[in-house]
Amino acid sequence: MVSASQSGGTMPLMLKGDTLVYTLPQFEKQFLDSNLLLLSQKYNITENEAYIKQAKIWDQPVMNFEHVLYNPQRKTFFEIGDSSEASAQVQQLIMIGSKRSKLVSMARTTAEIAKYQYFDLMRSLKVQLRSAFYNTYYLIEQIRVYDTEISRLKEIVKGYDQLYPKGLIALKEVVRIKALLLSMESERLDIHARLFENQNILKVLINDKTTHFILPVPDQEAYHNFNPGRYTLQALADTASKNRYDLMIYEQKMKYAETDLVYQRLFNIPDPTVSLGWDQNGSFVHNYNYIGLSFNMPFWDRNRGNIIAARSRIAETQADYRNYSVQLVNDLAESFGKLSEIDRVYRSIDAGFSDDFNRIIQKAGESYLKREIGLLEFVDLYESYKESRLQFLQLENDRINAIENLNYVVGRNIKW
């Protein structure tokens, strides 16, 4: 359906003017280029990187200037001259004790968290994308099953509508076949509703506002060859610990809390303010020039409350990290266990079962019209065929979703 040259591109193949055919790599490329949530998170990264630059900048110097407003002896405003009074002063706060480097370090950690949040968001959206991608494909396959069977039933109903007036067929048989047809039409509508829900998910993920229908073209062979038995739970856990960006976020939060504790302790080291000034007539000499130094005396406030709070935040982030690590391992065990069981059932099914059933159901309609089988046997065959086809398609879909969920929990695509 899609040529080799097309499948490697970034744009879909247009069919009938309103259907877009995507392979998974094509659709993921479109997603990375167009998704608005990822774009928003990129801006968040840029914002936090700007805070690193801001943290490196010194505090602004403070300029003070005074001039006499009114001289009551001379009864003059804004008097200028040697007998007037004016003063000017420049003050500069100097942070010492590595406070500024700690502020920069915390800003860098916050920027790292923003980057990890971006990649973790991408991980979450990708599993949503792949789930909707394959759900759409298998829902379409289920609709095809219904379309085939509904078409056959309509042919039978058409023939019965001609035979019944002649008294060649019983009314109960006509009604039963029409009831079966109505049931299939109703079930088909339910699947269509689920199909539209998944179409909505896919379009939002690629920021598509058109009315185009997205038709997925999956690489089923790659999933078919996947064997979970090649992996151990411990190996997957080791991989997850190195690739789960949400776990790295908790690590960075611990790092931030530890740096913040050091920063809060540094507040006990006073930051001096250097002053340079000039006073025209307000001192013991005319045109007095001076330099000054001022700083807080840490007698009453030794920042104890903030230090205690910083210690508590360290303990809190460590507990959160340990809890999330335990949750990750258990999520991995659950995901791996589900996939292993689904894969076991999938591989236990006879490969020729579906083809054999297809041949039987194709002859069932002819046999029923020739009265070689009865109504109950015919209806039972039709319903059994439908259920078996739908269950097998759902099993394939569940297996692929289980593989993608394992990729999601591990934090990367597992090599097959």
Amino acid at 176: R
Top pLDDT among 226 and 121 is at 121
Q: What's the pLDDT at 118?
A: 97
Q: Give yes or no for residue 261 having a pLDDT over 60.
A: yes
Q: What is the mean pLDDT of residues 111-131?
A: 97
Q: What's the pLDDT at 187?
A: 92
Top pLDDT among 388 and 231 is at 231
332 phi-psi bin (left φ>0, alpha ψ -120 to 50, beta other): alpha
Looking at domain 28-58+94-268+303-410, its CATH class is mainly alpha
Q: Give yes or no for residue 125 having a pLDDT over 80.
A: yes
Q: What's the pLDDT at 13?
A: 43
pLDDT band at 267 (very low <50, low <70, confident <90, very high): confident
Per-residue pLDDT tens digits for 203-216: 999 999 988 899 99
In percent, how much of the chain has pLDDT > 90? Answer: 60
Q: What is the mean pLDDT of residues 295-323?
A: 93
Q: Give yes or no for residue 24 having a pLDDT over 70.
A: yes
Top pLDDT among 387 and 321 is at 321
Top pLDDT among 220 and 370 is at 220
Top pLDDT among 125 and 6 is at 125
**Residue 140: how many other CB atoms lie within 10 Å:** 16
Q: Give yes or no for residue 12 having a pLDDT over 60.
A: no
Q: Rounded distance, CA 247 to CA 331, Å?
A: 13
Q: What's the pLDDT at 205?
A: 96
pLDDT band at 1 (very low <50, low <70, confident <90, very high): very low
Residue 14 is encoded by which pair of tokens? 């247009």
Q: What is the mean pLDDT of residues 267-284?
A: 90
Q: What is the mean pLDDT of residues 194-201?
A: 96
pLDDT band at 8 (very low <50, low <70, confident <90, very high): very low
Q: What is the mean pLDDT of residues 348-376?
A: 69
Q: Rounded distance, CA 352 to CA 349, Å?
A: 9
Q: What's the pLDDT at 328?
A: 96
Handedness of CA 354, 360, 362, 365 (dihedral sign): negative
In percent, how much of the chain has pLDDT > 70? Answer: 89
pTM: 0.85
Q: What's the pLDDT at 384?
A: 80
Ordered by start, the domain boundaries in the chain are 28-58+94-268+303-410, 61-93+270-302
Q: What is the mean pLDDT of residues 241-257?
A: 96
Q: Give yes or no for residue 133 having a pLDDT over 80.
A: yes
Q: What's the pLDDT at 255?
A: 97
Q: Give yes or no for residue 189 having a pLDDT over 90.
A: yes
Residue 248 is encoded by which pair of tokens? 């790295």
Q: Give yes or no for residue 5 having a pLDDT over 60.
A: no
Q: Which residue in 321, 346, 317 sits closest to 256, CA to CA?
A: 317
